[in-house]
Structure 1
Amino acid sequence: MTGTGQHAQRGAHENGKLPVSDDIAHGTLGLSAAAPVLDISSLTLEFPIFKGVVKALNGVNLQVHQGEIVGLVGESGSGKSVTAMAILRLLQQDAFRVKAGSIMVLGRDVFALREPELLAMRGRDVAMIFQEPMTALNPTRKVGRQLVDVIRRHQPVSQTKALEQAERLLRDMYIGDPVDVLNRYPFELSGGMRQRIMIALAFSCNPSLLIADEPTTALDVTVQRQVLLLLREKARALGTAVLFITHDMAVVSQFCDRVYVMYAGSVVEQGPTASLIGTPAHPYTHALLRGLPENALPHTELPAIPGHAPDLSALPEGCVFRDRCAFADEQCRQKPLLKPMPGVPERAYACWHPRLIAGVGQGE
């Protein structure tokens, strides 16, 4: 690449300024004035262990409104999947305890629901797409049987009507011969095809909230984009609220309206996608963006975040990112609260030195 080309590439991606889709960049998807579909408030959740507790979630606040796609991003072990499992109450009942806070779905407290109410909520009001479709689909049952069972579990329709609906769902996923696919077992299909079926399954009962837990991690890049476009198209058409869990900021930039960044069980930054990616305020967000291949020049080494995530059973005092942060000082021994960004109320961060981070990003 010529010097001019290198500078052009750097300019396009400086400070993690990834290209974002038009509706995200221009803010055409404003928040609904109605109550959020998902409202997590000050949630603190821990797992008792032999020598103490694992503090998996620490005062998490998160909202998803109707028709909105919200990203939840962070490294492995940051608390993303625990959050998803808690929303559906899929965590083993005697293995965790809620120290504070609540999860409200469509105005109902998830932790107060009885088992029959939970069973009705799962699939009908809230659906989930898992990371690996081969482990989510039953390998011993044909695709059609699995779709029909879910449809009839939540809707009063006949076997014939359910089968017709299943066929229509697969057509919506641009599957050319849905009848053939309905008569196949999951192991006979490719990874991309299985994930399309999982999306169809998730939307089979028109849920108000869809949780997608790293649904494209096991797919190659081309298939990943196809699956994401299908998921977004379907969610937009139905006005479904989506919580999209991922570790990939590049995917977030193209897919999500807003982003929550999690680290060690806490939300450390949140805001509209274009704004947060363009000017990250927290050093962890900044580090995630700098480590993207899209931001690297040819023949240069990608910068890695030094150190490792803290032990959740022995979290450090103060800022949980302190030991890995180049900007840490004595003030960081006190825990920073998540607070609105001055002049930008839709942005928030938990850092003592956001101006330092922004200054480094703008000056690189």
Structure 2
Amino acid sequence: MPATVQPSLAGREPVLVIDDLRIEFPAYKSTVKALNGVSLHVNPGEIVGVIGESGSGKSVTAMLSLRLLPERSYEVKSGRLSILGRDMLTAKEKDLLSVRGRDAAMIFQEPMTALNPTRRIGRQMLDVIIHHQRLSKADATAKAIALLRDMHIADPGQVMNSYPFELSGGMRQRVMIALAFSCDPKLLIADEPTTALDVTVQRQVLLLLREKARARGTAILLITHDMALVSQFCDRVYVMYTGAVVEQGVTAQVMADPRHPYTQGLLSGLPEQVEPGQDLLTIPGQVPNLSALPEGCTFRDRCAFALPKCLQRPPMHTVDAATDHQSACWLSASSHTSSHALSQEPRP
């Protein structure tokens, strides 16, 4: 089970705040509504998961948080986004350069595309450390070796002298984690950091990431499509669909009592939810076209419990105020409506 956030850390101002963020991507004869009112926050020292299918807006949220999307490729329609109180949507490029790496860092899905294949690992690490911390080459080298050793790399000197293509996928991801922690950031955004790894290495890397984050008090925003991963490593979770949060709360409670049919659908696809020999359950249909989103609840065409009222967009309803468990579903408005009740028979 995910560790409980220390009260001293959870009580501070959030490291990352996203409030009612809406952005669009201009396209040929249309507009892609990528984010449609996303609101979330990450407190110091906690691990927060963001989960959803492809097209739900997870990676766009992650990339925009550090302004890594190509400039002028999108338009912010409304909302705010801040890291450590700094407005990231209006920040100048020189300010962004100081935030990236020093205050906030990112671990990408495939380290082979994030690391420069033509430069040795040591050179890449030294460039980052010296740029942000103004250390001498000798001190930066010592710090790089210590960081790699912290990642449980037995021979950091050999890794420093290697090119990325000479390392395994798991080793490259450990290097990326070392780079991310090299300047002691307050926020670490991990976008599908273990997708390219096998299950055993995946768990090792995630345990290592959590261990180092807890030791340093670093907040983590973990972007993933894996519900099992969220249940094991995240303190809180946000479930996204068509560019909006449809359910949120403490991970253990959301997993035990999911109130949005979409969350229930994601959980029903876990292997432990079916008997041996049976096919895994899937959510019928597909994510709607973000250029022509339906009115009201965007999940209604895939939902077995859709009501006439679902033609109106549901607001977030509080399920449990003590744990900030909320769900954007009309059925969640009733305190007597449980996930067990929803799982019985579809409503007319």
**What's the TM-score, normalizing by structure 1?**
0.91
2:344 and 2:215 map into 1 onto residues whose CA distance is 38
Report the RMSD for the aligned CA atoms in angstroms: 1.4
> How far is the alpha carbon of 1:51 from its aligned partner?
1.6
1:271 and 1:238 map into 2 onto residues whose CA distance is 24
Matched position secondary structure for 1:218:
coil
CA contact 1:281–1:358 (8 Å) conserved in 2 = no
CA contact 1:143–1:184 (8 Å) conserved in 2 = yes
Residue 14 of structure 2 aligns with an amino acid whose one-letter code is P
1:134 and 1:114 map into 2 onto residues whose CA distance is 29
Matched position secondary structure for 1:312:
coil
1:111 and 1:334 map into 2 onto residues whose CA distance is 30
Among candidates 324, 341, 344, match of residue 359 of structure 1? 341
Residue 233 of structure 2 aligns with an amino acid whose one-letter code is F
1:343 and 1:84 map into 2 onto residues whose CA distance is 27
Residue 285 of structure 1 aligns with an amino acid whose one-letter code is T
2:262 and 2:83 map into 1 onto residues whose CA distance is 29
> How far is the alpha carbon of 1:361 from its aligned partner?
4.3
Asked whether 1:193 is paired with 2:171, we answer yes
1:357 and 1:328 map into 2 onto residues whose CA distance is 15
CA contact 2:22–2:37 (8 Å) conserved in 1 = yes
> How far is the alpha carbon of 1:302 from its aligned partner?
1.0
Among candidates 318, 325, 328, match of residue 350 of structure 1? 328
CA contact 2:132–2:183 (8 Å) conserved in 1 = yes
Matched position secondary structure for 1:63:
strand
1:29 and 1:277 map into 2 onto residues whose CA distance is 21
> How far is the alpha carbon of 1:124 from its aligned partner?
0.7
1:56-205 alignment runs, 5 A limit? 56-205=34-183
> How far is the alpha carbon of 1:338 from its aligned partner?
1.5
Matched position secondary structure for 2:266:
helix
Matched position secondary structure for 1:91:
coil
1:159 and 1:358 map into 2 onto residues whose CA distance is 60
CA contact 1:29–1:257 (8 Å) conserved in 2 = no
Aligned sequence identity (%): 62
Equivalenced residue count is 340
1:129 and 1:275 map into 2 onto residues whose CA distance is 28
Residue 160 of structure 1 aligns with an amino acid whose one-letter code is A
Per chain length, whose mean CA-contact separation is higher, i.e. which structure has more relative contact order (CA < 8 Å, sep 6+)? Answer: 1
CA contact 1:45–1:97 (8 Å) conserved in 2 = yes
Corresponding residue for residue 206 of structure 1: 184
Residue 130 of structure 2 aligns with an amino acid whose one-letter code is R
> How far is the alpha carbon of 1:357 from its aligned partner?
3.7
Matched position secondary structure for 2:116:
coil
1:1-364 alignment runs, 5 A limit? 20-21=1-2, 23=3, 27=4, 29-30=6-7, 32-342=10-320, 344=322, 346-354=324-332, 355=337, 357-361=339-343
1:201-242 Cα distance to aligned partner (Å, 9 max, x none): 000000010000000000000000000000000000000010
Gap regions ≥5 residues in structure 2: none
**What's the TM-score, normalizing by structure 2?**
0.95
1:90 and 1:28 map into 2 onto residues whose CA distance is 29
CA contact 1:39–1:64 (8 Å) conserved in 2 = yes
> How far is the alpha carbon of 1:29 from its aligned partner?
3.9
> How far is the alpha carbon of 1:108 from its aligned partner?
0.7
1:167 and 1:294 map into 2 onto residues whose CA distance is 41
